[in-house]
């Protein structure tokens, strides 16, 4: 199965799953099972599945056929090239292809002059008026292709301006762009491009990152420390006729290879194998030459040979457009698509399904507690009412007085319950402080100062080490405080359970371990930037400013996500208490109502007992249906051809 087919299958599963979640939410709401925590979990799960993105980054030096490879894999259905892929430098700025249904099809371009300002790329995304927008006609491939040629536009500037923009380095003249007859230097016209089109794969959450060559990558730290490390797969393209060149190796070592990365997420493409197709050589000789290049490239890059894949993107595109199956097989493009499907989509599906399954289990537990409270209250009422059989009016009146007294005592206990809330919130404020933006800003202050020092920054690596040590310590403190809160909640809930007959259970505390892993990944991506090759770049104040802003932006996302987990944990604990208070108040009302009916009619007692028995049976059915619906979500088939997935989700819920 090709990458496109597997991604399409993944998209079908996500859409069906999101629909089932939405319908489950409506079903739970109709049965009054939707407290604040349950609703929050449902919304998060639906959002996670609907908005899940898979980013594939294509990285290469100029003229390796990168844009042609993107055309061959994703855009052959247009019957022509969509991304500019003529000879020479075609992608001059990093280009992201994705889909946002809230925007029309368009190309947005960020002027290169924004590099003269300190804002990080992520901050510029929030300022749409600073981008040049070009509307796209997606129904006309010729016009679409013509419009996208703008990503290859250049400007000619003086050496001083090129230096200020990060494209000219006096200490590395071999890497500088060519100076024309007028003494001007060619630089990209745009800093970043965002393409929004309703391509079937992009609509399902695929994001393609097309990066320029070494000189442009090195000038934009956010690419190396944020975008590329967060990609779910990186496809690194070499030319088959040259193998690993000096500049290829520089990109690989400085921007792609990091300790601890998942090797399955790194694929190396040995492109342009058609340049080795020689009429004077036999097929066996040609294949032997390709295999030698694969082995040599794998050895230099430190990868297994299996991860270096020979391809002819140009022949693969031609074969797809013309329907030439023989040429398609000769291009080896299906092999690359298979590797992407198994490595990228296989892993992504596994991760998403695991996260979703965990969320559904927690959702089931939250809703199950509500059913348990109702079942327990019904059982208490049944025991109470059966005890009234054969009793006279005075006994029944006494029973009513006792229930009313219990109700008064329960209402008077609000101060004790409020005290539990107050202590909980006081401890939570400490966690919120540890994970808040002001704390993060304070922790980054020393590193920011170190990066802003003029000249060569010899101590910056040490400053990074200290900063990340403090950040890890802060996360550890948040974990420890969370454990204290969990312990306090457990004790308080146990006391309330004993005193009021509740069935409160402290929700699982947030796990900060995964955020520690995020910190380690971010630190690795930055430390690889601090090697000897980048000393001169770090000496430039504007470059250092962009680097630290990129770091702050990425860390802020990690900390905001951690805060979100803490808030959900808090909401889960509070919702349990609210739900049980609500059910207990309802219980008092039902018990008093039952006594009134018994007092008014001789048959009232038997009728009420029969009603409670019916309610108990209905609760058992409700619990069973909840199990069935959540099990179907956890075990939803991945294939759109599976009969279980083909059955309309709405019919499944309506049957409930």
- Residue 519's Cβ-side half-sphere holds a number of Cα atoms within 13 Å equal to 21
pLDDT above 60: residue 282: yes
Alpha helices per DSSP H over 102-158: 121-125, 141-148
Give me the mean pLDDT over the 164-184 stretch.
79
pLDDT over 90 percentage in the chain? 18
Q: What φ, ψ does residue 206 adopt, rounded to 5°?
A: -75, 135
State which H helix or E strand residue 7 sits in: helix 3-30
Q: What is the distance between the alpha carbons of residues 351 and 652, in angstroms, rounded to a whole number?
A: 26
Q: Which structure tokens are listed for 620? A: 């058992």
Q: pLDDT tens for residues 503-513?
A: 788 888 888 88
Band of pLDDT at residue 91, cut at 50, 70 and 90: low
**DSSP states of 161-211 as a string?**
HHHHHT---TT-GGGSPPB-TTS-EEEESEEEEEEE---HHHHTTEEEEE-
Contact between 401 and 525 (Cβ < 8 Å):
no
Q: pLDDT tens for residues 220-277?
A: 777 767 788 778 888 999 999 888 998 888 888 877 765 555 555 788 999 999 998 9
DSSP 80: S
Distance of CA 157 to CAs 112, 162, 165, 187, Å? 12, 6, 10, 7
Q: How many CB atoms lie within 10 A of CB 467?
A: 21
Tally of residues, the chain: 656
DSSP 243: B
Q: What is the distance between the alpha carbons of residues 544 and 475, in angstroms, rounded to a whole number?
A: 26
Sequence-distant (≥ 6) Cβ neighbours of residue 523 within 8 angstroms: 464, 468
For position 643, what pLDDT does the model report?
42
Query: Sign of torsion, CA 350 356 359 364?
Result: negative
Q: Which structure tokens are listed for 177? A: 């762009």
Band of pLDDT at residue 314, cut at 50, 70 and 90: very high
The distance of Cα 143 from the centroid of its chain, to the nearest Å, equals: 33
Give me the mean pLDDT over the 556-562 stretch.
90
Sequence-distant (≥ 6) Cβ neighbours of residue 512 within 8 angstroms: 475, 476, 478, 479, 482, 562
Contact between 61 and 52 (Cβ < 8 Å):
no
Q: What is the CATH number of domain 53-153+189-331?
A: 3.40.50.300
pLDDT above 80: residue 413: no
Q: pLDDT tens for residues 43-84?
A: 888 887 877 788 888 998 888 888 899 989 888 888 888 888
Q: Which structure tokens are listed for 183? A: 């003494």
pTM of structure? 0.71
Q: pLDDT tens for residues 623-653?
A: 998 888 888 887 765 544 444 433 444 444 4
- Beta bridge partners of residue 206, listed in sequence order: 54
Q: Where are the domains of the chain?
A: 53-153+189-331, 414-577
Q: What is the distance between the alpha carbons of residues 133 and 100, in angstroms, rounded to a whole number?
A: 15
Q: What φ, ψ does residue 194 adopt, rounded to 5°?
A: -120, 120
The distance of Cα 114 from the centroid of its chain, to the nearest Å, equals: 28
Q: Which structure tokens are listed for 182? A: 């007028």
Residue 249 DSSP SS3? helix
Give me the mean pLDDT over the 157-184 stretch.
81
The closest of 460, 441, 449 to 537, measured between CA atoms, is: 460
Q: What share of the chain is helix, strand, coil (3-state, %, to 5)?
A: 70, 10, 25
Angle (CA) 332 338 339, round 5°: 95
The β-bridge relationship of strands 154-157 and 185-188 is antiparallel
For position 192, what pLDDT does the model report?
92
For position 647, what pLDDT does the model report?
43
Band of pLDDT at residue 215, cut at 50, 70 and 90: low
For position 194, what pLDDT does the model report?
94
For position 219, what pLDDT does the model report?
66
pLDDT over 70 percentage in the chain? 88
Q: What is the distance between the alpha carbons of residues 195 and 134, in angstroms, rounded to a whole number?
A: 10
Contact between 159 and 187 (Cβ < 8 Å):
no
DSSP 610: H
Sequence-distant (≥ 6) Cβ neighbours of residue 404 within 8 angstroms: 592
Contact between 190 and 151 (Cβ < 8 Å):
yes
């Amino acid at each position: 199965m090709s990458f496109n087919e597997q991604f399409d299958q993944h998209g079908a599963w996500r859409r069906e799953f999101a629909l089932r979640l939405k319908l489950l939410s409506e079903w739970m709401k109709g049965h009054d099972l939707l407290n604040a925590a349950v609703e929050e979990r449902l919304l998060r799960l639906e959002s996670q599945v609907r908005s899940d993105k898979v980013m594939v980054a294509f990285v290469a030096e100029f003229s390796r056929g990168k844009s042609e490879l993107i055309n061959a894999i994703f855009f052959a259905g247009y019957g022509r090239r969509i991304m500019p892929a003529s000879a020479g430098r075609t992608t001059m700025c990093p280009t992201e292809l994705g889909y946002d249904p809230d925007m029309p099809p368009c190309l947005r371009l960020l002027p290169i002059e924004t590099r003269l300002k300190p804002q990080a790329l992520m901050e510029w995304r929030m300022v749409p008026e600073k981008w040049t927008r070009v509307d796209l006609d997606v129904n006309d491939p010729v016009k679409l292709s013509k419009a996208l040629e703008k990503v290859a536009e250049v400007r000619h500037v003086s050496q001083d301006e090129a230096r200020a923009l990060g494209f000219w380095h006096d200490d590395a003249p071999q890497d500088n762009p060519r100076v024309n007859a007028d003494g001007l230097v060619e630089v990209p016209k745009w800093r970043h491009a965002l393409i929004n089109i309703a391509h079937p794969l992009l609509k399902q959450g695929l994001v393609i990152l097309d990066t320029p060559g070494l000189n442009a990558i090195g000038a934009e730290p956010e690419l190396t420390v944020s975008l590329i490390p967060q990609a779910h797969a990186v496809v690194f393209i070499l030319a088959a006729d040259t193998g690993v060149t000096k500049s290829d190796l520089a990109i690989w070592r400085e921007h792609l290879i990091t300790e601890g990365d998942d090797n399955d997420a790194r694929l190396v493409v040995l492109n342009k194998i058609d340049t080795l197709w020689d009429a004077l050589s036999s097929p066996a000789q040609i294949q032997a030459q390709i295999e030698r290049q694969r082995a040599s490239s794998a050895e230099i890059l430190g990868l297994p040979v299996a991860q270096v894949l020979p391809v002819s993107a140009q022949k693969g595109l031609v074969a797809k457009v013309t329907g030439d199956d023989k040429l398609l097989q000769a291009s080896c493009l299906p092999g690359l698509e298979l590797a992407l499907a198994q490595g990228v989509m296989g892993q992504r599906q596994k991760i998403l399904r695991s996260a979703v399954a965990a969320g559904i289990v927690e959702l089931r537990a939250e809703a199950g507690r509500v059913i348990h409270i109702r079942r327990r209250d019904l059982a208490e009422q049944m025991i109470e009412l059966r005890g009234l059989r054969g009793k006279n009016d005075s006994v029944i009146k006494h029973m009513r007085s006792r229930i009313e007294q219990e109700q008064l005592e329960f209402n008077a206990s609000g101060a004790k319950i409020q005290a539990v809330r107050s202590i909980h919130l006081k401890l939570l404020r400490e966690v919120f402080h540890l994970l808040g933006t002001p704390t993060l800003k304070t922790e980054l202050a020393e590193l920011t100062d170190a990066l802003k020092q003029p000249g060569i920054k010899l101590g910056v690596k040490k400053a990074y080490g200290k900063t990340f040590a403090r950040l890890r310590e802060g996360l550890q403190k948040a974990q420890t405080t969370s454990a204290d809160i969990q312990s306090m909640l457990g004790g308080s809930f146990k006391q309330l359970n004993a005193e009021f007959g509740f069935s409160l259970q402290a929700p699982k505390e947030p796990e900060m371990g995964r955020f520690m892993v995020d910190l380690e990944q971010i630190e690795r991506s930055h430390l690889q930037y601090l090697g000897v090759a980048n000393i001169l770049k770090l000496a430039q104040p504007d470059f250092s400013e962009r680097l630290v802003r990129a770091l702050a932006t990425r860390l802020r996302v990690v900390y905001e996500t951690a805060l979100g987990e803490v808030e959900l944990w808090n909401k889960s604990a509070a919702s349990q208490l609210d739900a049980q208070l609500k059910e207990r108040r309802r219980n008092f009302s039902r018990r008093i109502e039952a006594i009134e009916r018994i007092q008014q009619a001789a048959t009232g007692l038997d009728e009420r007992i029969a009603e409670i028995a019916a309610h108990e049976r209905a609760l058992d059915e409700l619990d069973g249906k909840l199990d069935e619906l959540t099990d179907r979500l956890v075990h939803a088939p991945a294939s759109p051809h599976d009969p279980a997935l083909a059955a309309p989700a709405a019919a499944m819920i309506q049957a409930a």
